[in-house]
Chains A and B, each alone.
Chain A
Amino acid sequence: MAKIKSLAELQKKRDELQAVAAKTKNEKVIVNVSLATCGIASGGKEVMEAMKQEAAALGINNVEFTMSGCMTYCFAEPTVEITLPGKEPVVFGYIKGDKAKELVSKYIKSGELVDGVIPASYERIVF
């Protein structure tokens, strides 16, 4: 990997990465699964796998799967955040059993909301 040699280079790198992220966000469905110790323990990895399989089975191929750390909703693990192209992210909790497939066949496929939406009750600092 090329080393970053100055603050200007770092800023350039950030701008490039943000441009890529913005493009992805416009074109693809982003599925972000909470995979901290707690999320993994409650079945987050299985949820991700089930969603990948369901997407493949339904022929949906514009989905990008990512992982993150703790989404802070211990009471509702496993949790998944889905961002439809051009839309605001929505966090779904309690994704157990067939619920993972339902997220793909309903929300991702046709934008139909399913139970377990967790409203965002925070303001997040960005810079």
Chain B
Amino acid sequence: MVDKNQLRIATRNTGFIDPESVESYIAVGGYQALGKCLAEMKPADVIDLMKNSGLRGRGGAGFPTGVKWGFAAKYASDTKYVVCNADEGDPGAFMDRAVLEGDPHNVLEAMAIGGYAIGGNKGTIYIRAEYPLAIARLKLAIQQAKDMGLLGDNIMGTDFSFDIELKYGAGAFVCGEETALIASMEGNRGEPYTKPPFPAEAGYWDKPTIVNNVETLANIPAIIMKGADWFSGIGTETSKGTKVFCICGKINNVGLIEVPMGTSLKTVIYDVGGGIPDGKEFKAVQTGGPSGGALTYKDLDAPIDYENLVARQSMMGSGGMIVMDEDDCMVAVAKFFLDFTMDETCGKCTPCRIGSKRIYEILDKITIGQGTEADLEKLRSLSHNIKDTALCGLGQTMPNPVLSTMRVFEDEYRAHVIDKKCPAGVCADLLEFTVVEEKCVGCTLCARVCPVNCISGKPKEVHVIDQAACIKCGACLDKCKFDAIIKQ
């Protein structure tokens, strides 16, 4: 018997219903929550229910959804907007795509509920153009819902009207930040601006706007139907409900999971994820993508919630989880993420634009064996400066991969700068391939496979690698049948 570690709220229909059929959604109770709000609840009741449920934004920062809605409801305006943030761009994250492709009506229904609650009747889904199937299914869903009177004018015979349109993003990571997203929707460059005013007061076209992530929205119809107490009974003191994660990398069961907040990392990796392939040791998991940080083998017992992740220099992020094993070098991992953010910074503020480049350069220097101990201090102080001074969430969280890996794997950083070694055997410039004399039988295989002919030796005699000429490609190591070549 398999333990039921997962609880599916946001993904309750994904994989079970036909996403291209509105009947399929209605059959599992679809649009009942919207109907209940319109028939039995006042907008203020809906907001109170959301506040009491404790639902927090699933896009990363974790702002309470009901509070955000309450702000937008407070401002009087002839037009208010509900924006669905479907600009999913973290490496290794695909939960929003899965929900949109598998259960599009769920998101539409939640947006209409949001519109009713704040007194708005226009919805926009900002989705990246790289998600063509999600776009096609959303368009179809919008049309079907309108045909049935579940969206559009006078929904279910009431005087509430709500329409939804799509806006396509060009795939810039920064556009997931809500102010940059709004700028992009208005046709401007996708650059963030300083808050306040918050979008709830003056957002899209300067009108009160709520921006909610796909997964946040996907929870809402269930909360309306089952109540605030039910939802707030799941999870931890500060983080209610469940979280969807995309678990990938060095893990057996690569896939989409949804677990209650407070589930331990150990349960996620070993029970739900099925452990690490090939009997390797678990080393770390990157949560929150490039904005997040590494949780390590020391954090296995930590309950996963917003606060616990922040305390470990990571963050919930949108839900990517990249699992790393003993063969992964943490300096190289940090460099990979900084490479990503260096490319994706919009360039508007100096700390992020120049800071990301400088961090990347230092990390690069360390991985090629030219780093010094002073560089480690510089990395740390630079990271803190960027965190404190960058304009938006992208810049403020960009140093997290560095700080969190330095927190636990400082030894590994030091090995790179002091001993000029990469303990995980990843950084090519710090590696040395050598022949173990006792094991070499002189089969000549390695010499024949070497692309630069730097291995010499007669048949049946011990071979030798010319270190000056070796390009560290590892071809000899892969080829040797006698484990006579070692990498260190």
B151 to chain A, nearest CB (A): 11
Bound CA–CA A107/B148 (angstroms): 38
| B23 in contact with A121 (CB, 8 Å) | no
Residues of chain A with a CB closer than 8 A to B133's CB:
36-37, 40
| B2 in contact with A127 (CB, 8 Å) | no
13 A–B contacts, CB within 8 A, in A order:
A5-B157, A6-B39, A7-B39, A14-B29, A37-B133, A67-B20, A68-B19, A69-B15, A69-B103, A70-B101, A122-B6, A122-B7, A126-B28
Known: A70-B256, A124-B16. A4 touches B156 (CB 8 A): yes
Residues of chain B with a CB closer than 8 A to A69's CB:
14-15, 19, 98-99, 101-103
| A124 in contact with B26 (CB, 8 Å) | no
Q: Does B414 reach chain A (CB closer than 8 Å)?
A: no
Cβ < 8 Å to A, chain B residues 132-185: 133-134, 147-150, 156-157
Q: Does B377 reach chain A (CB closer than 8 Å)?
A: no
**Chain B interface residues (CB < 8 Å from chain A):** 2-9, 11-12, 14-20, 23, 26-32, 35-36, 38-39, 94, 97-99, 101-103, 131, 133-134, 147-150, 156-157, 222, 225-226, 248, 252-258, 271-272
Provide the A44-64 mask, 1 if CB < 8 A to any CB of B, else 0: 000000000000000000000
B15 to chain A, nearest CB (A): 4
| A72: contacting residue among B35, B134, B149, B256, CB under 8 A | B256
Residues of chain A with a CB closer than 8 A to B29's CB:
14, 126-127
A14 to chain B, nearest CB (A): 5
Provide the A8-21 mask, 1 if CB < 8 A to any CB of B, else 0: 01110110011001
Residue of A nearest to B4 (CB): A123
Count: A-B pairs, CB below 8 Å = 140
Residue of B nearest to A15 (CB): B27
Residue of A nearest to B19 (CB): A69
Residue of A nearest to B149 (CB): A3
B63 to chain A, nearest CB (A): 24
Cβ < 8 Å to B, chain A residues 45-97: 66-75, 81
Residues of chain B with a CB closer than 8 A to A5's CB:
149, 156-157
Residues of chain A with a CB closer than 8 A to B94's CB:
38
Q: Does A34 reach chain B (CB closer than 8 Å)?
A: yes
Bound CA–CA A99/B458 (angstroms): 50
Known: A1-B148, A124-B12. A36 touches B35 (CB 8 A): no
Residues of chain A with a CB closer than 8 A to B147's CB:
1, 3
Bound CA–CA A17/B31 (angstroms): 14
Residues of chain A with a CB closer than 8 A to B39's CB:
6-7
| B258 in contact with A67 (CB, 8 Å) | no
| A72 in contact with B15 (CB, 8 Å) | yes
Residue of B nearest to A122 (CB): B6
| B148 in contact with A125 (CB, 8 Å) | no
B226 to chain A, nearest CB (A): 6
Residues of chain B with a CB closer than 8 A to A119's CB:
2
A: number of interface residues (CB 8 Å)? 41
| B15 in contact with A34 (CB, 8 Å) | yes
Known: A36-B133, A70-B102. A4 touches B148 (CB 8 A): yes
Residues of chain A with a CB closer than 8 A to B97's CB:
36-37
Residues of chain B with a CB closer than 8 A to A70's CB:
14-15, 98, 101-102, 256
Bound CA–CA A38/B99 (angstroms): 13
| B272 in contact with A121 (CB, 8 Å) | yes
Residues of chain A with a CB closer than 8 A to B5's CB:
121-122
Question: Which 9 A/B pairs are nearest by Cβ-Cβ distance?
Answer: A69-B102, A3-B149, A122-B6, A7-B35, A17-B27, A71-B15, A5-B157, A70-B98, A72-B256
| A123 in contact with B8 (CB, 8 Å) | yes
Bound CA–CA A5/B115 (angstroms): 19
Bound CA–CA A73/B256 (angstroms): 7
| A14 in contact with B14 (CB, 8 Å) | no
B224 to chain A, nearest CB (A): 10
Residue of B nearest to A73 (CB): B255
Residue of B nearest to A79 (CB): B15
| B156 in contact with A7 (CB, 8 Å) | yes
Residues of chain A with a CB closer than 8 A to B258's CB:
122
| B255 in contact with A122 (CB, 8 Å) | no
| A21 in contact with B27 (CB, 8 Å) | yes
Residue of B nearest to A7 (CB): B35
Known: A36-B133, A123-B4, A125-B12. A72 touches B156 (CB 8 A): no
| B16 in contact with A68 (CB, 8 Å) | yes
Known: A69-B19, A124-B16. A75 touches B254 (CB 8 A): yes
| B32 in contact with A11 (CB, 8 Å) | yes
Residue of B nearest to A70 (CB): B98
